[in-house]
Amino acid sequence: MDYLEIEGGSPLCGEVCIQGSKNAALPILSAAVLNHGITVLKNCPKIIDVKNMLEILIGFGCKVNWEGDTLIIDATVMNSNQVAACYARQMRSSIMLLGSLLGRTGTATLPYPGGCVIGERPIDLHIEALRKMGAELEEKGEGLCACCKKPQSSRVCLPFPSVGATENVILLAVLAKGVTILNNAAREPEIEELCRFLSCMGAKIQGAGTSQITITGVETLHDVEFTIVSDRIVAGTYMLMTAAAGGRVILNNPPLQQLGAVYGALRCMGVHCKECGEHLLLWRTERMKGLKGIRTEPYPGFPTDLQSPLMAALALAEGESEIEETIFEARFKIVEELLRMGADICTEGQKAYIRGVRKLYGADLIAKELRGGAALVLAAAAAEGKSRILQYHYIERGYENIIRDLQSLGVMVKKNIG
């Protein structure tokens, strides 16, 4: 069994360049299908989920090339709109192909999306919203058949500001006739990034980043060269790792405007954050303080994707802490792993109660999903002694090269092909 081996316990020291955003790149790759031409992407992260999405696009007949760190997608010709199940089932974001395939071809056949074990992750909001826009969707066995020859001008209101459902509405609306008004839209930065990308291709979108987004359909989109913003969750992971392990860390090119909730938590924990141009300097001079009243919320609230890394850091904070997870119903999977390291945590429903301990100890750990796996790496870097993290391929779904990043922060880490 392959595993990561981490010798923890020393304060971090060094700098890390923050990769392109996974959750911005994936809907942008789906949106590239809407342009019968060339899309050039810079700063697209080389992660497993991007690789899978590109395989799906190749299956449509798109040409895909990496030229160094630049990704070139030629979607001039598409001879299929069948989404390959072997790739789609590995990630949730394949569902975002629904809107772009309907927008480009008027039909789509795709398997139910895969993804992490953090919750049931239904797609009812996607289906309901696209039906309001004139799509006919039939749930068949393992997947969905959809048809929408003439998407209509519509007013859609999401019962919950779902990120993916917001993205699917936008993807279908950009080439639809007339105006689509989306209320209770997700406000995540990744929505703004998708709309910025689509606008660079000639789409007409107002209100990105707010709860009401208005899309005025256009005839066609055109070629684009676009640089993807850096990843706020990867940046937040290393910010919390600095909090947990101590030391002095510089993050290069983090998305500074998107980290408000993380800054707030770190300041309360006694971690210093200082912006220096495009860089962020972090250090801690005394023991972290515990945090109460933290609850995950849609943006701009504290991000659910950083809940596990925060929990791992708070395991070492002075006093008691409390976290409430309000977005996903099964996102406390790392508790049993942290207990094995000597943490003192208990959960009751969607709430976790953490009593800080002086030390965590290295242990054999099992990653079960992407952000929980990253949280275990964080705990291992802060723990005394050696940890082995099995199933770390989950982490490679979202972190381009966590070994490279850890080594640049002075952490002793190696990959073992077991």
Task: Select from 83, 123, 311, 345 the one that contacts ligand EPZ (CB under 6 A).
Answer: 123
Side by side, which strands form the sheet with 179-183? 154-157, 179-183, 212-216, 204-206
Per CB under 6 A, does 163 bind ligand EPZ?
A: yes
Active site residue 268: no
CB of 272 to ligand EPZ, least distance (A): 27
- For ligand EPZ, the closer of residues 95 and 201 by Cβ is 95
CB of 329 to ligand EPZ, least distance (A): 7
Burial degree of 198 (CB within 10 A; 0-12, 13-18, 19+): buried
Per CB under 6 A, does 126 bind ligand EPZ?
A: yes
* Rounded alpha-carbon distances, angstroms, from residue 272 to 135, 264, 279: 50, 11, 14
Per CB under 6 A, does 213 bind ligand EPZ?
A: no
| Overall residue count recorded for the chain in this entry | 418
CB of 125 to ligand EPZ, least distance (A): 3
Residue of 11, 407, 412 lying closest to 248 (CA atoms) = 11
- Whether the link from the prior residue into 161 is cis, omega within 30° of 0, is no
Q: Please give the full DSSP string across 6-34, using - where no structure is assigned.
A: EEE-SPEEEEEEPPBPHHHHHHHHHHGGG
Site for ligand EPZ in 291-330 (CB under 6 A): 304-305, 327-328
- For ligand EPZ, the closer of residues 284 and 371 by Cβ is 371
CB of 377 to ligand EPZ, least distance (A): 14
Q: What are phi and psi of 236, to 5 degrees?
A: -65, -35
Question: 20-39 mask for ligand EPZ (x: CB under 6 A)?
Answer: --xx--x-------------
Task: Select from 31, 169, 370, 390 the one that contacts ligand EPZ (CB under 6 A).
Answer: 370
Burial degree of 199 (CB within 10 A; 0-12, 13-18, 19+): middle
Between CA 182 and CA 29 the distance in angstroms is 22
Task: Outline where DSSP puts E strands in 333-390.
Answer: 344-348, 351-355, 364-366, 385-390
Site for ligand EPZ in 384-413 (CB under 6 A): 398
Task: Select from 57, 110, 135, 165 the one that contacts ligand EPZ (CB under 6 A).
Answer: 165
Between CA 15 and CA 253 the distance in angstroms is 11
In the set 116, 148, 195, 273, the catalytic residue is 116
Ranked by CB distance to ligand EPZ, the top (closest) residue is: 164
The two tokens of residue 353 are 């109660």
Task: Select from 122, 260, 264, 300 the one that contacts ligand EPZ (CB under 6 A).
Answer: 122
The answer to whether the beta carbons of residues 16 and 232 sit under 8 Å apart is no
- For ligand EPZ, the closer of residues 291 and 327 by Cβ is 327
CB of 213 to ligand EPZ, least distance (A): 15
CB of 258 to ligand EPZ, least distance (A): 12
What's the first-to-final CA gap in the chain, in angstroms? 5
Choose one: 116-124, 141-149, 210-218, 253-261; the region binding ligand EPZ (CB under 6 A). 116-124
Between CA 307 and CA 334 the distance in angstroms is 11
Residue of 299, 309, 311, 394 lying closest to 350 (CA atoms) = 311
Spatial CB neighbours of 140, under 8 Å, sequence gap ≥ 6: none
The two tokens of residue 150 are 């003439």
Question: 91-110 mask for ligand EPZ (x: CB under 6 A)?
Answer: -xx-----------------
Residue of 85, 84, 73, 2 lying closest to 35 (CA atoms) = 73
The two tokens of residue 390 are 């099995």
- For ligand EPZ, the closer of residues 288 and 378 by Cβ is 378
Per CB under 6 A, does 333 bind ligand EPZ?
A: no
- For ligand EPZ, the closer of residues 25 and 250 by Cβ is 25
Choose one: 99-107, 114-122, 268-276, 351-359; the region binding ligand EPZ (CB under 6 A). 114-122
CB of 264 to ligand EPZ, least distance (A): 18
Choose one: 98-106, 141-149, 159-167, 386-394; the region binding ligand EPZ (CB under 6 A). 159-167
Choose one: 117-125, 172-180, 272-280, 344-352; the region binding ligand EPZ (CB under 6 A). 117-125
> What residues are labeled active site?
116
Q: Which residues bind ligand EPZ (CB under 6 A)?
A: 22-23, 26, 92-93, 116, 119, 121-126, 160, 162-165, 186, 188, 190, 304-305, 327-328, 370-371, 398
